[in-house]
Structure 1
Amino acid sequence: MEKLLYITANTKPEETSTSKTVGRRFINNFISKVQNYTVEELDLYNENIPEINHRIFNGRGQLASGDIYNALSEEDKKSVDRINVLCDQFLNADTYVIAAPMWNLGYPSRLKSYLDCIMINDKVIKISQDDAVGLLDDKTRNMVYIQSCGEIYPKIFDSKFNHAIDYFRDVFKFLGVNKFESILVEGTDTSSVGIDKAIKDSQKDIEDVVNKFSKTSLSSSSNS
């Protein structure tokens, strides 16, 4: 079985969160059409995401281990242990789905804290004196970023307003993820669209993205 890791970054509960509502619709649609997948969920605002500090690293972004780990305080050991769990969970996934609102033209800080935790040297990335490379190219992986926002921005201004989408596309490409898709849920605060219509309008994008992954899954199965 392949694994889908569904990550949400919103303080609101699902029933009042546009990004989480659309994310749930995507997950349900995905599971109904793409076979042999299990889903693991990570709600970043209801999970322990440790704050990064210099004490828990050996150096160059490598988590403390051995004698360095043994010398840590109990609190710092718990942070290292938790980061290892988050990192292993991330590495074991085949498809990543992140649902988050646009905050101040970016994304929630909790999501950045999570990325800081899992970008571990010799596990997710490899840092050398001359280079840094992603280590997720060991198998086919997919990523979907679902973003809700209150306004509607013309496509020509995407680079000015949708920084989060560009950022996650660049980061996951660097890590070695093969396919990136995004779903924009726009106009939730406008009188012309509103939350209900924005969620309804996202259904076509959900189906389009799921169909792309479904075809990829069928192609991989036929070639195996």
Structure 2
Amino acid sequence: MSENSDVDKKSMKKVLFINSTPKPMENSITLQMAHNFIENYKSVNPYDEISTLNLYEENIRFLDLDNLNQMFSKDPEKIDFVHYTKQFVEADRYIIAAPMWNLTVPAILSAYLDYANVQGLTFYYTATGAVGMLGGKGKKAVLISSRGGGYSEGKWEPFEMAERYVRKQFEFLGITDFQLVLMDWADVLQGDELDRAKKLSMENASKAGQNF
């Protein structure tokens, strides 16, 4: 093994790809952008370890009374879903594929992010408020998303609660290096306009992946 290979492997990052759409790739602009992003990321970071969580194939459930009792016991090992929390903590990079549904993210992503919010593992409380435990470690996150309409500016911008929600969840845990790869108007544009918008979105995803 060459000296360069040793250096590359020592700098290897753990990447967690969180897919929150049930659609197959051929029917999902979000997944197509995510695919372009990841393939270009891998071309620049060949030694990084990428783990995929297809949330609809996982045992992701809304928090129930048992979960809450486990969380408030302050013993993380008693929490049914703690393996998801630990996997989240161990990641260096987060790639989240999430279309906008009804102004926000798919509910299954919200349920999964509940698993990431565990006192003592990802945040703790002080007299002045919560402190995220994942900051200062060089962690980065990117949200890859498509929206049926336009929510980036104008009167509909305040209704956007997908990027806002995910970004603030990561900031709460201490991860402030957060990017967005986006396609707006996916359900409005037609014909050549739609094709051009998709092409530009795929190119943007590819460039973002190379620089992530």
Structure-1 residue corresponding to 2:57:
46
Q: 2:184 aligns with which of 179, 183, 186?
A: 186
TM-score w.r.t. structure 1 length?
0.78
Structure-1 residue corresponding to 2:40:
29
Whole-angstrom CA distance in 2 between matches of 1:99 and 1:59? 27
CA contact (8 A) 1:50 1:117 kept: no
Structure-2 residue corresponding to 1:150:
148
Whole-angstrom CA distance in 2 between matches of 1:209 and 1:61? 41
TM-score w.r.t. structure 2 length?
0.82
SS in 2 for 1:5: strand
Shift of 1:212: 3.7
Whole-angstrom CA distance in 1 between matches of 2:206 and 2:156? 22
Shift of 1:98: 0.6
Q: 1:122 to 1:154 in 2, by over 3 A?
A: closer
User: Where does 1:108-119 land on structure 2 (aligned, <5 Å)?
Assistant: 108-119=106-117
Shift of 1:203: 2.7
Shift of 1:202: 0.8
Q: 1:175 aligns with which of 158, 173, 176?
A: 173
Shift of 1:188: 1.8
Q: 1:116 to 1:154 in 2, by over 3 A?
A: closer
User: Where does 1:51-66 land on structure 2 (aligned, <5 Å)?
Assistant: 51-56=62-67, 57-58=69-70, 60=72, 62=74, 65=77
Structure-1 residue corresponding to 2:3:
none
Structure-1 residue corresponding to 2:18:
7
For structure 1, which segment, 124-133 or 98-107, has the greater mean C-alpha deviation from structure 2 after superposition? Answer: 124-133
Shift of 1:158: 6.4
Which 5+ residue runs of structure 2 have no aligned equivalent? 1-11
Whole-angstrom CA distance in 2 between matches of 1:107 and 1:46? 17
Amino acid at match of 2:177: K
Structure-2 residue corresponding to 1:204:
203
Identity %, equivalent residues = 32
Shift of 1:64: 5.9
Q: 1:15 to 1:204 in 2, by over 3 A?
A: closer
Whole-angstrom CA distance in 2 between matches of 1:4 and 1:97? 7
Which 5+ residue runs of structure 1 have no aligned equivalent? 70-79, 214-224
For structure 1, which segment, 9-18 or 126-135, has the greater mean C-alpha deviation from structure 2 after superposition? Answer: 126-135
